[in-house]
Amino acid sequence: MKKFIGDRAFYRKLFAVMLPILVQNVITNLVGLLDNIMVGRLGTEQMSGVAIVNQLIFVFALCIFGGISGAGIFTTQYYGKGDDEGVRHTVRIKFYIVIAAVTLFALVFTFFGERLISFFLHEGKEKLDLEATLDFGKQYLAVMIWQMLPFAVMQIYSGTLRETGETVIPMVSGIAAIFVNLFLNWVLIFGKLGAPALGVRGAAYATLIARFVELGVVVIWAHTHKKRCPYIKGLYSSFRVPGSLLKNVAIKGTPLLVNEVLWSSGMTMLNQCYSRRGLEVVSAVNISSTVSNLFFCSFFAMGSTVAIIVGQLLGAGEHERAVREDRQLIAFSVFLCTLTGVVMAVLAPLIPRIYNTTAGVKALAAEILIVSACMMPMDAFTNASYFTLRSGGKTFITFLFDSGFVWSICVPAAFVLSRYTSVPILPMFIIVRCLDLIKCVIGYILIKKRAWVHDLTKDR
């Protein structure tokens, strides 16, 4: 067991990197839960319309994350090597990716938004109003399109700060945005302090304003702390990027971009399959996923920690230390998420009661939460394995491991079960989630092979 446990210095480094990320994620998702509850107070149709649009925005957000992650792998290793010019070039590449992604998704949501929302609307046992749900979704999407650009640019700055060892400022910016969002939700959704009651549009406006606050904090800090962020100097003096680096980022980053788009769209497709059992399932899955995300912060934060620590060690040429500490990071992630899963299972029957929805929706949400809690140790291992492979630039393997698995195994299973059988939603959900056990075995084999142990900066 000793090889899975680090020394005191290891855990000091782990917590220094992980805790700010964890705190930011917890606060973000806690306020996301409160945001969800506020919209839920308006009614089940309003909550469902917003939930469907957020599924579509989720695909965009993961596209941005995947797009800049390819360049981020190089950022981390260049920083570990002390190459400020290399970091500067990777930031410029991120801007190219973001501009293209925002333009594409804005066009898709503008011209095909109604059709995409309708894809999730199916009559269920509780006879909810599908037409009203569509209208609420369209109102929400019309405003949310405008928050995509500040969100994407903020990801460039926050991601680069984390990759260069500065995890506190992104946390501070996230906390500032969260409280702005929460306060404006209260004002704009319900019409407080003399403001008009805008309902779902109020929730969207609150998010839009919060995005600009979050962006403002990271941009101002980065440009006023040039000693801490030396790559900021001359960042906008030129947008030229060496062709060889651009080629390497494209080779390593394209699988990541495609992976995040396919994975997020795969998750959206799974939810669409679940929605075939009725609109009440959309509401229950929305409640359970919002609550789950609060607890999932533990393995999400550990995934980012793995990418940062292992990536910097690989860039510094300390390969054996990278292997040793990666093993210890994965072990700690599984341990942490096992404890988190227990807490989540205990609270699962209680949290859905907060929502203003039907008893059936609350009961189903609680059952899905318990299933998700049981799967948390497995999720922790697969997530840490993914970020380990990614830190060494094995992006095509991560593509097959992540989105390839979703689309070749999970989505076909859910598609068949939802359309060609009468299996109820809960057994269907359990069957699809248990398929990830196969992914655990694959992840273990890939990590043991050590093919991810690679210094990307030598390829420049």
Nearest Cα to 200, choosing from 354, 45, 357, 27? 45
Q: Which amino acid is at 82?
A: G
408 vs 99: CA distance, rounded Å: 30
Q: Which residues contact 149 (CB under 8 A, 6 or more apart)?
A: 102
Q: Per-10-residue mean pLDDT for the chain, 460 residues long?
A: 84 89 77 75 86 87 86 86 88 94 96 92 72 93 95 94 88 88 93 93 94 95 92 88 86 80 88 89 87 86 89 83 90 94 93 84 93 94 89 79 91 95 94 94 88 66
95 vs 109: CA distance, rounded Å: 21
**Residues 113, 134 contacting (CB under 8 angstroms):** no
User: pTM score, two decimals?
Assistant: 0.74
Angle at 41 between CA 39 and CA 363, to 5 degrees: 100
Please give the C-alpha separations between residue 220 and each of 143, 153, 184, 226, in angstroms, as whole numbers.
Answer: 26, 13, 23, 11
The residue whose two tokens read 């503008």 is 110
Give the number of other CB atoms < 10 A from CB of residue 320: 9
The domain in which residue 116 lies consists of: 2-459
**Residues 325, 391 contacting (CB under 8 angstroms):** no
Produce one character per residue of 429-460: b if its CB has 16 or more CB atoms within 10 Å, e if not.
Answer: beebbeebeebeeebeebbeeeebbbbbbeee
**Residues 23, 171 contacting (CB under 8 angstroms):** yes
Residue 246 buriedness (CB in 10 A; 0-12 / 13-18 / 19+): middle
**pLDDT for res 402:** 83
**Residues 397, 357 contacting (CB under 8 angstroms):** no
91 vs 72: CA distance, rounded Å: 8
266 vs 62: CA distance, rounded Å: 11
**pLDDT for res 379:** 92
Helix axes 436-449, 376-391, angle to 10 degrees: 40
Query: Helix/strand/coil (H, E, C) string of the chain?
Result: CHHHCCCHHHHHHHHHHHHHHHHHHHHHHHHHHHHHHHHHCCCHHHHHHHHHHHHHHHHHHHHHHHHHHHHHHHHHHHHHHCCHHHHHHHHHHHHHHHHHHHHHHHHHHHHHHHHHHHCCCCCCCCCCCHHHHHHHHHHHHHHHHHHHHHHHHHHHHHHHHHHCCCCHHHHHHHHHHHHHHHHHHHHHHHCCCCCCCCCHHHHHHHHHHHHHHHHHHHHHHHHHCCCCCHHHCCCCCCCCCCHHHHHHHHHHHHHHHHHHHHHHHHHHHHHHHHHCCCHHHHHHHHHHHHHHHHHHHHHHHHHHHHHHHHHHHHHCCCHHHHHHHHHHHHHHHHHHHHHHHHHHHHHCCCHHHHCCCCHHHHHHHHHHHHHHHHCHHHHHHHHHHHHHHHHCCCHHHHHHHHHHHHHHHHHHHHHHHHHHCCCCHHHHHHHHHHCHHHHHHHHHHHHHHCCCCCCHHHHC
CA-based torsion, 64, 66, 68, 72: positive or negative: positive
Produce one character per residue of 107-116: b if its CB has 16 or more CB atoms within 10 Å, e if not.
Answer: eebeeebeeb
Count of structural domains, the chain: 1
